[in-house]
Amino acid sequence: MITLRKADERGHAQHGWLESWHSFSFADYHDPAHMGVGNLRVINDDRIQPGTGFGTHGHRDMEIISYVLQGALAHQDSVGHGRAGSGNAGVIRPGDVQRMSAGRGVLHSEFNHEKDAVTHFLQIWILPRERGIAPGYEQKHFDDAGKRGRLRLIASPDGADGSLTIHADAKVYAGLFDGAEHAAMTLDSGRPAYVHLARGRLVVNGQPLSAGDALTLRGEQQLQLGQGEGAEVLVFDLAP
């Protein structure tokens, strides 16, 4: 079974300094029909205005992935990442992916320090395998060449293929598609898969998608992607 969720059906919040689209229930947006898929709990499509950001706040028992599409996002946390004197540690730009394991508790902040550029990024939360682990942080760069016309593994439980290591039963893939570029992936029909189109246009299993659209796949054995137009896509293999 394949279920389409159009971009404009998501929750929407406009705070002036922040515009956010919520794929699943979050903060003031609550929809019992959209509480997550498998162990994927949050995808927030955020745009932060120049010189603003999220002040220091806390998280616990969540694997949090930040995926920057435009601009730069500066991260600081109570474990010591991103502090003065640490160079660019904690600053992520397009191609960079950051994983923060909140574990038994961590404080952090996220800011767009640019003077005239909006930061556009996806904030992704995945439920961990176990609670109360030590907080952790990891950041890696995945260049366009490695994602061009294919699905590149960017996060996995065992850090396979140079991916980020997440403490969750999930795998996350990223791909870039244009023109004749296409890719296929075999799915485990006993596990849900989720496809989020971050930008552009793409046809997935015969379904045309535009930026912000998503598909949930249950009981499917194959994923087919093609006919892209400036497409950047994330694919999630999730726990039942």
Q: pLDDT digits over 149-176, tens only?
A: 999 999 999 999 999 999 999 999 999 9
Phi, psi of 160 (to 5 degrees): -60, 150
Residue type, 189: S
Name the token pair of 223.
């994923």
Q: Is the predicted pLDDT of residue 21 greater than 50, yes or no?
A: yes
Model pLDDT, residue 127:
98
What integer is the mean pLDDT of 11-29? Answer: 97
What integer is the mean pLDDT of 199-203? Answer: 98
CATH number of the domain that 180 lies in? 2.60.120.10
Q: Is the predicted pLDDT of residue 81 greater than 70, yes or no?
A: no
The model's pTM is 0.95
113 vs 118, which has greater pLDDT?
A: 118
Q: What is the number of structural domains in the chain? A: 1
Name the token pair of 166.
């997440």
Give the DSSP letter of residue 206.
Answer: T
Q: Strand, coil or helix: what is 83? A: coil
Q: Is the predicted pLDDT of residue 118 greater than 90, yes or no?
A: yes
Q: Is the predicted pLDDT of residue 71 greater than 50, yes or no?
A: yes
What are 122-132's pLDDT values in tens digits? 999 999 999 99
Query: DSSP of 137-151, one letter per residue?
Result: EEEEE--HHHHBTS-
Place of tokens 């919520």: 22
Reported as a pLDDT band with limits 50, 70 and 90, residue 84 is low
Domain assignment of residue 187, given as a range: 2-238
Reported as a pLDDT band with limits 50, 70 and 90, residue 82 is low
How far apart, in Å, are the Cα atoms of 179 and each of 175, 176, 182? 13, 11, 8
